Amino acid sequence: MSSCHDAGSGPVAATEELPRIALVGSPNAGKTTIFNALTGLRAKTGNYPGVTVVRREGIARLPSGDVIVDDFPGTYSLDPVSPDEQVVADALSGELSGTQVPTAILAVVDATTIERSLILVAQVLRLGLPTCVVVTMVDELDARHGRLDLSRLSAVLGVPVVGVVATKLDRSDRLMDLLAQARDWPVASVPIPSDPEDLSAWLDSVLERVDHCRPGGHPWTDRIDRVLLHPAAGVVTFFAVMIFFFQVIFTWAVPLQDLVSSGFDWLGSWVDEYVTWPPLAGLLSDGVIAGVGTVLQFLPQIILLFLMISFLENVGYMARAALVMDRVMAKAGLEGRAFVSLLSSYACAVPGIMSTRTIPSSKDRIATILVAPLMTCSARLPIYTLLIATFVPNSTVWGPLRLQGLVLFGLYLLGTTSALVIAAIFKRTVLKGETLPFYMEIPPYRVPGPRLVLVQCWDSARYFVRKAGTIILGTSIILWALLHLPVVTPPPELNEQQAASYQMEQSVAGSAGRAIEPVFAPLGFTWEVNVALIGSLSAREVFVSTLGQIEAAQNDSDVSIGEALRAQTLPDGSPAYPPATVAAILIFFVFALQCMSTVAVMRRETNSWRWPAIAWGYMFVLAWVGGAVAHAVTQALT
Amino acid sequence: MKSTPESPLTMDDLGVGQASRVRGVSADCPGNVSRRLRDLGLLPGTSVEMVRRAPLGSPTVFAVRGYLLCLRSDQSRCVLVEGPVGQ
């Protein structure tokens, strides 16, 4: 069964009977589509020992029996130019301890780029393992008036060659029959030159013998790129796509969000009516429903965003985005593909971090992973919208611009700018090192297979759902318990609200909140904020539901959380949430890493606890210092 | 543009729409870069065409062996080409 929280990095325990087929090919060749078609959702993700390279493997259920499919990272060459690539090359030749040499290799090549892909095929053949070549995009080659004789290619190379349309792969494909006989695939004995001049001549002669005719340009690609990559129109279109992206986050998903939210409200009132035992009613409505509901109401939005990102990636747009932004990213010591990962992190850092697998340089990869959580993810929105709506006046600043919107935009800008600055710092200090050459293929625009888009969307969404179902549920229940235990008898002179407040202050959570008051005193945090903050270390959304719980208990039921926060005072009568404190909370949330899911993904993608620890540490320091500065500055100004 | 021994023509010198043939990878180029450039299809005799620059000026998109490859100046300067053909 698929599992995304594998602690180990070892391969599937192979028995003698199960053949292990290595899937090798360049990015954009349709390799992942084939892998998904073969293994469905039965794929496991792990790491190669000692490096940040991710390995994916799964079981293909063929009529003739099961087969292990090892999806190697997309590559243009088996001649390594980095330590990461060295490990992958070793894994293929069986020289990597802890991995077995594959039984056979399935080389995946794109028919439309065969003139280049043959170089990789030559390298694969030199490995001396049973090999089969699968040629994808044969329909596109035909549509673009290209030509390639697969049976002649098979004769020239000395290995089976089969053509497929990767998105339409099914049981009847000849590829399936071939996979069943993987052990019998021939080992090529054709000598292939490695000297560049000789290799060039060899390629020319092979291409001639297989009746190769280069396909014409992809009809729509050139037309669209002339706009999208035009110096002026390109940048404008780019921002239009970005704005569209954010429209989806802020406006279009709202009806769905409201639907889920009112569903949970209904559930809450149902509990109030039918669950008679007060502690259980409290646990269910304040702990479980409020906690989980806060997260799940964002699920429609999140899924929509993941779908969009996955679609844009697979249609080929993200490569253009990387192309446009490469120059800006280079100033931060990164590259264009890092921008795509950071962009995805606006939805959620988890898929953003996973998408760094396309970045060849491991130092660039780690730098991007370390700053991805600074991109304003959607989990911060409940906190931002609550605090901004409650404490920031909606006054007009200039024309249609209002203060509330401007503050929100400012928070986004702060997150984004600090991500780039900190990445630059990391790349100049801790992650300094030999840089890899930058190169990137720009694929033609292609309509992605729906299965690929959905599988990738689910890959990311599953983390989000799991977060709601386990981390947030667990934290909410625990927090509820800690806020209501131990049960104390309040002094008789207190009224109902004051008694509830007293109970919470004396509870385990309340005591902890007051105990760490000195730590957060420079930020102006009250004990309630401290308690909510501790809870939100597991997931940011818990902050709002915890604060909501505390405020609801201390006030009449018809007082909204915003009103409660505004009205709350400290023992000396001054407001508990002056502008300085609100500013400090907002800035704290811009920087702090408060998400166990993100930490877990960081650990998996970097194959160690060191980088998640560094990330958490530096972000906490930034958050604390930033909050203290914000508090001091705001206090001086108000 | 003419390629001379003192200032050999490189891919970086090609203007939009200009095509040429690869002569080889410069000896000044670091080993890992030249190996990667060769494996990307920039072999002696390969024809290359400069398609466009990115909107912000870098990197540059080239048509090579039937696909689009983008390179930064640092890399395209490593590939020596013949005098350009056509516009």
Across chain A, which has 638 residues, the per-10-residue mean pLDDT values are 41 65 93 89 80 86 89 91 86 83 94 95 92 95 94 94 88 84 85 86 94 89 88 81 72 76 82 80 78 76 82 90 91 90 88 88 92 92 88 82 84 93 92 82 90 82 77 83 82 78 84 91 92 88 84 75 84 87 96 92 91 96 96 92
Instruction: Supply angle C-alpha A31, A37, A39, rounded to 5.
Output: 100
Q: In chain B, pLDDT over 90 holds for what percent of residues?
A: 70
Residue B85: pLDDT band with limits 50, 70, 90: low
A479: Cα within 13 Å, side-chain hemisphere: 33
Residue count of chain B: 87
Q: Do A113 and B67 touch (CB under 8 A)?
A: yes
Q: Among B32, B38, B59, whose Cβ lies nearest the Cβ of A326?
A: B59
CB atoms inside a 10 Å sphere around CB A563:
14
Chain A residue at shortest CA distance from B58? A327
CA distance A605 to A614: 14
Measured CB to CB, residues of chain A less than 8 Å from chain B are 76-77, 79, 81-82, 112-116, 119-120, 123, 196-197, 199-200, 203-204, 214-215, 225, 229-232, 234-235, 238, 323-328, 330, 336, 436-443
CA distance A563 to A586: 18
Paired tokens of A29: 């060749």
Paired tokens of A585: 């909370």
Note the pLDDT tens digit of each residue in B23-40.
999 988 888 899 999 999
Specify the pLDDT at position B3. 63
Q: Among A197, A215, A324, whose Cβ lies nearest the Cβ of B55?
A: A324
CA distance B22 to B45: 5
Tell me the chain B residues in contact with residue A196 when contact means C-beta distances shorter than 8 Å.
24-25, 38, 43-44
User: Which pairing describes strands B67-71 and B79-81: parallel, antiparallel, or unpaired?
Assistant: unpaired
More confident residue, B3 or A580: A580
Pick from A24, A38, A36, A21: which is nearest to A173 by CA? A38
Q: Do A441 and B54 touch (CB under 8 A)?
A: no
Tell me the chain B residues in contact with residue A203 when contact means C-beta distances shorter than 8 Å.
43
User: Which pairing describes strands B47-53 and A401-402: parallel, antiparallel, or unpaired?
Assistant: unpaired
Q: Among A229, A325, A439, whose Cβ lies nearest the Cβ of B71?
A: A439
Note the pLDDT tens digit of each residue in B4-27.
666 789 999 999 999 999 999 998
CA-derived radius of gyration, chain A = 28
Q: Do B33 and A324 touch (CB under 8 A)?
A: no
CA distance A433 to A427: 8
Measured CA to CA in angstroms, residue A87 lies from A54, A107, A114, A122 at distances of 11, 19, 26, 20
Residue B86 has pLDDT above 70, yes or no: no
Q: Among A123, A215, A336, whose Cβ lies nearest the Cβ of B66?
A: A215
What is the ipTM metric for this complex?
0.93
Measured CB to CB, residues of chain B less than 8 Å from chain A are 24-25, 32-33, 35-41, 43-46, 52-59, 61, 64-72, 74-75
Tell me the chain B residues in contact with residue A328 when contact means C-beta distances shorter than 8 Å.
56
- pTM for this structure? 0.85
Residue B38 C-alpha from the chain's centroid: 11
Tell me the chain B residues in contact with residue A231 when contact means C-beta distances shorter than 8 Å.
53, 55
Tell me the chain A residues in contact with residue B67 when contact means C-beta distances shorter than 8 Å.
112-113, 116, 441-443
Specify the pLDDT at position B13. 92
Specify the pLDDT at position B1. 59
